[in-house]
Structure 1
C-alpha cells in the first residue's frame, strides 16, 4: 500500500479552501458512507483514498482499485481533514460540473439556489433533490461552492446523482424562454391551495437571510408559500426545510 508525503498532506489540506479546489480542480470527501458512494458511482474520478483503519481496505476491496489506497496515521488524517473530528477515510476526487447550455430545462425539474450561503443547507438541498428525482441543481455565482467539504458531507453521496451547474437566473431563463419558474416567497399562494403545479420547471430557493434577490423576482412566474400555524412563533423556515416541503408537494400535486 502507498504511503503519504508531507507535500501530499499539505495539498489535501489546502482543498478545504475554495481557491485551491479551483486551482487544482480537486475536492475531498470524508466518511465511509460518502466515499463508498463516490467509488460505486464512479462519476467523479478518484485520485486517492486515504485510510487509517486497515479494516476499511477489506470493505472497499470488492469495488475499489486498491492502487489508489494510501495508509495514513490518525495524526496525518487529522492534518488533512477539514473537520474537527476526522473520519477514518478521506478521498481526493476530480471536480466536474455540467454546462447549462447542454441541458433541456423546460423538459425537466430544476432547483436554482439563489445565493445560498450555508454549506449544510446546500448539501441538504442536493440530497433532497436526489430523493425526489430532481436531477438539475444550478447555483448562483455567489452561492456556496458545490465542493465545499461541508456541502459534500451533507449530501451523503447524492452529489454523484445530480447535474451540478453555475449560472445567473437571467442567463438560465434566456436559455429556456417560456420555462415555468416557481419562487418560494412569503406573499405567494399557499402550497395547500395549489393543487396543480406544473409538471416541469424551475424552483428558486432564496438566500437564508434575504430570500430571492430583487433582480430575480421578475423571472418568477408562480409565487408559492408554505403556510404555518396561526400561532407560530418562528419567523420563517430554514431554506432546506422549505425546499423539502415544496419538493414533496411538487412531486404529488402536478397537472
Structure 2
C-alpha cells in the first residue's frame, strides 16, 4: 500500500511548482503508462490494483519498492481523473535535448502562447502522427506535464521533443533564406495552392489572439485555411489543434 508520504508526494504533482521541484510527472491509464515504459521513460513508481497486475502484460525491470499494489480507494486519492484508472505511473521528466541539425533539415511546430491543455496534448499527438519530432513552446504556453496534457497525448509525449524557449530568439537563430517560417493568417495565401517546403517552422498562435505581433513580423510565409464554400457564413475560426492537423496533413501530402 502507499504510505502517507507517497500519497502526499504524488498528489502534489498535480501542481506545476511541485512537478518542477521533484522533476516528476504522473500518467494514468494502461495504454499511456505502457507506452511510456516501452519508450524507456524512467519511472519512479508503478502503482496498480491487484486486478490490473493479474491482467497486465507490461514488462519492467523495476525494483520491488517501485512497484506498489494498492486498492481503488488509494488510487482515487492520487488520481486527477473523474474515473480513476487501475494503474498510475510516476515518471521522471526526460531530457528534452534538441537535435539542432535535425531541426535545420525538418519541420517543427512552434506554439505561441497556447493555453489549453487539451490543445497542447492533441498537437503533440498530431506531431507524432505526421513524423514531426520537435515542438517549441513560448514560456507562457501551458505546462507539458499538466495531467490533462499528458492524457491528451495518448503516449505521443514519449516520441516528440517539447522545448520551452523565447520564440523570437529561437526563430532568429534559424531564420535564413533557405529556412521558411510559416504562420496562419486570414490575409495569407490559400494553403492548398502554396508550394510547401520539407523543412521550416510552423507557427500556431494563441486560441483567442492568434500569433503575437512580435512573432508575426518574423513570418516569411503566410498561409490561410479557407472555409467552404468560400464566401458563405461559417465558424469564426478553427480550434488551434484542428488547424494544426490540417496544416501538417497538407505539408505531408505534398511529399507524396
Q: Output the TM-score relative to the length of structure 2.
A: 0.92
Equivalent-residue separation in structure 1 for 2:96 and 2:220 (angstroms) = 25
| CA distance, structure 2, for counterparts of residue 66 and residue 26 of structure 1 | 18
Q: How does 1:98-247 map to 2 (within 5 A)?
A: 98-100=96-98, 102-104=99-101, 105-178=103-176, 179-194=179-194, 196-229=195-228, 230=230, 231-247=232-248
Q: Is the 8 A contact 1:39 1:64 kept in 2?
A: no
Structure 2: state its 5+ residue gaps.
Answer: none
How many residue pairs get aligned? The number is 250
8 Å contact 2:227–2:234 — kept in the other structure?
no
Offset, 1:8 = 0.5
For 1:219, what is the secondary structure of its paired residue? Answer: coil
CA offset at residue 171 of structure 1?
A: 1.4
Deviation at 1:60, TM superposition (A): 3.6
What is the alpha-carbon distance in structure 2 between the residues aligned to residue 207 and residue 201 of structure 1?
20
Alignment partners' CA distance in 1, 2:122 and 2:58: 29
CA drift of 1:143 comes to 0.2
Residue 153 of structure 1 and its aligned partner are, at CA, apart by 0.4
Instruction: Measure how far apart 1:99 and its partner are.
Output: 4.1
Runs (4 or more) in structure 1 with deviation over 4 Å come to none
Is 2:34 aligned against 1:23?
A: no
1:133 partner SS: coil
CA deviation profile, 1:160-212 (whole Å, cap 9, x unmatched): 00112111221112322313111011211111221x20110110010000000
Note if 1:48 corresponds to 2:61. Answer: no
Give 5+ residue unaligned stretches, structure 1: none
Instruction: For 1:245 and 1:132, locate their aligned partners in 2 and report how far apart those are by CA, in whole Å.
Output: 11
CA distance in 2 between counterparts of 1:57 and 1:94 reads 26
3-state SS of 2:8 partner: helix
Greater displacement, 212-221 / 103-112? 103-112
Map 1:37-76 → 2, pairs under 5 A? 37-42=35-40, 44-63=41-60, 65=62, 67=64, 68-76=66-74
- Shift of the alpha carbon at 1:94? 0.7
How much has 1:58 moved relative to structure 2? Answer: 4.3
Superposition RMSD in Å: 1.7
1:207 and 1:90 map into 2 onto residues whose CA distance is 31
Aligned to 1:71, the other structure's residue is in SS state strand
- Contact 1:36–1:60 (CA under 8 A) maintained in structure 2: no
Cα drift, residue 53 of structure 1: 4.0
| Larger mean Cα displacement after TM superposition, 185-194 or 155-164 | 185-194
